[in-house]
Structure 1
């Protein structure tokens, strides 16, 4: 009967059909034999199977997890054995009721179903324990891979490839790093991410390593997953340059956190290069604002607001008063009047290309930081 069941199991579960592996075949046969013997010993008793037998099926469940399979194959095998055992019992009962009286059919059937349920439960326990262990080890390996990729010194391609293989991470051609902020990981569960995205929410500054980030909708789809987070993505780089992408992403995230850049989805560093440059050295920008916009210091707040806004628009529109009027929604004559005021205040400075460049940079900083507005002193800086 054991041999027949093993053959039937191998027919129904291709994963278990390994004719060249005598050890595997022997183990399968041994498991079936033990199950039969344990069931026959169980009939007529009320206690559960002994711990050793439960451990056997916990080990089988764990083996399925380590093989990378679900429990479906093992459950099919157990059901197959149970069905064939019951078929044999009914054959015996029908052939000679004196050997197996009818009154025993019900209790034995109940015992068989209960026994099968206990085997499945033991296998599930082993499977879950092994899967948790495998998952935990994989997380540790991936955490080590993140640390390697984001280390201060660029890792060697060989080291990255070796650890990527151990972490079951397909090595991409390029990556980008997303810096995260704005939520407390301790109080909220991390988002569910695609399996190929490396993540480390245990870092002081959580981040993601995204393979092949320029794929269609790649970053946008992550933005949907990361709702509620402040997120900024650095440039696309070679895998060994991931630390550079992280640095740029953090620069951009700081702009988002400060309110200089809107927190809309995953903010791209490449879309805010000017802001990243202007806020790189805030002390320098405060000095530039103080020096290059000094003629505006003594004006009343309302007049200072109007002239600052007009000067920035004039510099951005290539000194075209009509374009400035359209941009500011005012009459061209109003723009010309304000420009005459600016010429009186700044004089020849407006003819100096270097000073015009620095004025525009200073005004852009004030605009991004919300410092151009009624009652605001441009000299106050960002």
Structure 2
């Protein structure tokens, strides 16, 4: 492997490349190493008369060829890697032969077997390459849509199933991903999307899966592909948790549509985790509010509003009446009067940490919901 990376530039790029290309190269190295190890193991089996590992070796070699096609490269680099590999292998075989005193006849047979074996490996990679090239753009897109559905599937699909589908679709499996939710019927410039994205753009809930985080460069690229410049990015999570990232992205987009959150073009869920949590279950929130605010039920709506506003500001300022008055733009004496009413109504609840926390959460959620009639 070291000799291959040293002599062939295409396999040396991963060490210093940045961005998506660097990540793809880095993901490619373990697969190449695995293929080399399997090829060597199968060669040893073959000269000893066993064929047990041939099927695995054949698929790995075809996968290498498919990967070259999916990356838009020719087979020149892979063929050069095979040539380098056989040269290194023969030098080591010849060294072992000399140490063991093998006859020229045996060494000649080994050389014939080794070079014929490398030709066989190269032929398998050509098969994989041609298979991949024979796919139309629509067929490849369908393979990637199936892969995306598999990744988001619940119960979760196995890592083996995802790896197999990813190899067929020509997609390097990342450690982490970020889901992006798009509005229904969103216009997307497909040609402007990065090639390492998975996309489902049909149906009522179009979405994308981005390898790694949505950094500034990725955000700019995504917005360039979205003429309406609207969407929401979920939280960056390990690949098996991709469905959660998409769920949070969709909820973020819903809150943008409802006017609860500001539209930031590609609104990041990560900046609004508290809002997502507080508004995650409207029915449950109603139950908590009824329980915690029951003592205000006999008051008029105007009284309830004044006291809950005052209580919320007082809790957020950690009991500072002057700061509460400043926030509410009323006189401190007015705040003190309302606080006496609040203490009479809530009593011991205000002395208990759990109760104060519950009250503050309910009041914060209530303020968020009032921004949108659809969440009332």
Q: Which residue of 1 aligns with 2:95?
A: none
| Structure 1 residues 309 and 208: CA distance shift in structure 2, 3 A | same
* 1:163 and 2:170 are equivalent in the alignment: no
Larger radius of gyration: 1
Residue 178 of structure 1: SS of its match in structure 2?
Answer: strand
- Matching residue of 2:15: none
Q: Which residue of 2 aligns with 1:268?
A: 268
Q: TM-score, normalised by structure 1?
A: 0.56
Q: For residue 311 of structure 1, report the CA deviation from its aligned partner.
A: 0.9
User: What is the root-mean-square deviation of aligned Cα atoms in Å?
Assistant: 3.5
Give the superposition deviation at 1:370: 0.9
CA shift, 1:277, in A, is 2.4
Unpaired runs of 5+ residues, structure 1, are: 1-64, 70-130
Aligned to 2:285: 285
Query: Contact (CA 8 Å) 1:317, 1:323: kept in 2 or not?
Result: yes
Secondary structure of the residue aligned to 1:158 is helix
Contact 1:231 1:267 in 2 (8 A): yes
TM-score scaled by structure 2? 0.57
SS at match of 1:202: coil
Deviation at 1:329, TM superposition (A): 3.2
Aligned equivalents of 1:135, 1:244: Cα separation in 2? 29
CA drift of 1:208 comes to 0.4
Instruction: Indicate how the Cα distance of structure 1 residues 152 and 362 shifts in structure 2: closer, same or farther if over 3 A, else same.
Output: same
Following superposition, the deviation at residue 178 of structure 1 comes to 1.2
Displacement, 1:240? 3.2
Distance in 2 (CA, whole Å) between partners of 1:153 and 1:68 is 34
Q: Deviations over 1:235-287 (max 9, x none)?
A: 21222332232233233333334433333222333322232222232222112
Q: Name structure 2 gaps, 5 residues minimum.
A: 1-68, 74-132
Give 2:239's aligned residue: 239
Instruction: Look up the match of 2:181.
Output: 179
Question: In structure 2, what is the Cα distance between the partners aligned to 1:293 and 1:161?
Answer: 52
1:25-64: CA deviation from partner (whole Å, max 9, x where unpaired): xxxxxxxxxxxxxxxxxxxxxxxxxxxxxxxxxxxxxxxx
Matched ranges for 1:294-313 at <5 A: 294-313=294-313
Q: How much has 1:190 moved relative to structure 2?
A: 5.2
Q: Which moved more, 1:255-264 or 1:235-244?
A: 255-264
Q: Check whether the contact 2:143–2:169 (CA below 8 A) recurs between aligned residues.
A: yes
Counterpart secondary structure, 1:261: coil
- CA gap of 1:370–1:224, structure 2 versus 1, over 3 A, is farther
What's the CA shift for 1:363? Answer: 1.0
- Would you say how many aligned residue pairs link Structure 1 and Structure 2? 250
Higher helix share: 2
Contact 1:259 1:369 in 2 (8 A): no
The 1:139–1:365 alpha-carbon spacing in structure 2 relative to 1, beyond 3 Å, is: same
Query: What does residue 148 of structure 1 align with?
Result: 150
